[in-house]
Amino acid sequence: MNIVLLGAPGSGKGTQAARLSHRYGIPHISTGDIFRHEIAQKTELGLKVEEYVKSGRLVPDELTVSIVSGRLTKPDCGQGFILDGFPRTVAQAESLDAYFTSAKRQLDKVVYLQMTESQAVERLSSRRQCEACGQIYNLKSQPPKEADKCDTDGGTLFQREDDKPETIRKRLVVYNELTEPLISYYRGAGLLLTVNGGQGVDSVSNEVYAALDGLEPRPA
Ligand code: AMP
């Protein structure tokens, strides 16, 4: 099963992608996580993308597409994958289409987590992440049991640098301009599943599972 998660920053893509990955046994591929990892490791790629990620701008399409194309050829993608944060531009979506055609595979569903801008800002401002395992918390709706500590491994929770107010605004502008057109792109392709991302995390998951559980791979 090949799935794309689409939605504004803060709409819950990372949380839902992790759950889908666990449920269907296929990898969760987050371009944001890949970039943050490379930045933390100070690799050549990390140095190239650091300024874009920290300032809330998009990493250039060519670079992003080449990273994702490489990732999709890894053996763990054989049974499918969940893409979180890719594609983010029409050019990226077209490259993904080209990948599916050349690999004789298909995109099964695009799950669009719909949310208002004020809900997204609210979510992003109270988001925290475990530095050890990457688990995402929300100080209001999903707080850790002990302040600043991950429930799973006790790792310290941190706030992403691009979750600070000014960068949040920039990211939402970028989203509206470059990523929102993908909603009609995928609606036109008959692949869009729209879910209210503003409801509780479990309700979102249940709606998505209900739509995906019975999904038979479409003939190529
Ligand atoms: P995310 O964790 O998905 O919110 O992504 C964090 C940041 O990584 C974004 O604000 C961009 O700077 C960069 N990024 C992630 N995915 C992409 C993409 N598909 N295209 C370009 N830049 C991306």
Nearest partner of 31 among 55, 8, 63, judged by Cα: 63
Q: Tell me which residue has its CA closest to atom 6 in ligand 1.
A: 32
Q: Is the beta carbon of 85 within 6 A of some atom in ligand 1?
A: yes
Residue 13 is among the residues annotated as catalytic for this protein: yes
Q: Where are the alpha helices (DSSP H) in the chain?
A: 13-24, 31-40, 44-55, 61-72, 90-103, 117-125, 165-174, 181-188, 201-212
Under the banding of pLDDT at 50, 70 and 90, the label for residue 107 is very high
Domain count, the chain: 1
- Which atom of ligand 1 is nearest to 30's Cα? 3
> What's the mean pLDDT when you consider all of the chain?
94
Residue 218 is among the residues annotated as catalytic for this protein: no
Over residues 60-72, the pLDDT tens digits come to 999 999 999 999 9
The pLDDT score that the predictor gives to residue 34 is 97
Q: Which residue has the tokens 């490259």?
A: 95
Q: Tell me which residue has its CA closest to atom 14 in ligand 1.
A: 32
Q: Give the whole-angstrom CA distance, residue 24 versus residue 19.
A: 9
For residue 194, the enclosing domain spans 2-212
- Which atom of ligand 1 is nearest to 84's Cα? 3
Q: Tell me which residue has its CA closest to atom 1 in ligand 1.
A: 32
Residue 88 is among the residues annotated as catalytic for this protein: yes
Our mutation pick for probing the ligand 1 site, out of 29, 31, 159, counting the most ligand atoms within 8 A of Cβ, is: 31
Over residues 195-206, the pLDDT tens digits come to 999 999 999 999
Residue 132 resides in a domain: yes
Residue 24: which CATH number?
3.40.50.300
Residue 104 resides in a domain: yes
Residue 187 is among the residues annotated as catalytic for this protein: no
Under the banding of pLDDT at 50, 70 and 90, the label for residue 217 is low
In this prediction, what percent of the chain has a pLDDT beyond 90?
92
In this prediction, what percent of the chain has a pLDDT beyond 70?
98
Q: Which residue has the tokens 């669009």?
A: 112
Residue 24 resides in a domain: yes
Residue 35 resides in a domain: yes
Helices H, strands E: what count in the chain?
A: 9, 8
Over residues 135-145, the pLDDT tens digits come to 999 999 889 99
Whether the per-residue pLDDT at 10 is higher than 60: the answer is: yes
Residue 218 resides in a domain: no
Contact present, 163 and 176 (Cβ < 8 Å): no
Under the banding of pLDDT at 50, 70 and 90, the label for residue 216 is low
Residue 175 resides in a domain: yes
Q: Give the whole-angstrom CA distance, residue 107 versus residue 191.
A: 8
**Which amino acid belongs to residue 164?**
K
Residue 220 resides in a domain: no
Contact present, 2 and 107 (Cβ < 8 Å): yes
The pLDDT score that the predictor gives to residue 194 is 98
Residue 134 resides in a domain: yes
Whether the per-residue pLDDT at 166 is higher than 90: the answer is: no
Under the banding of pLDDT at 50, 70 and 90, the label for residue 208 is very high
The pLDDT score that the predictor gives to residue 141 is 87
Q: Give the whole-angstrom CA distance, residue 101 versus residue 129.
A: 36
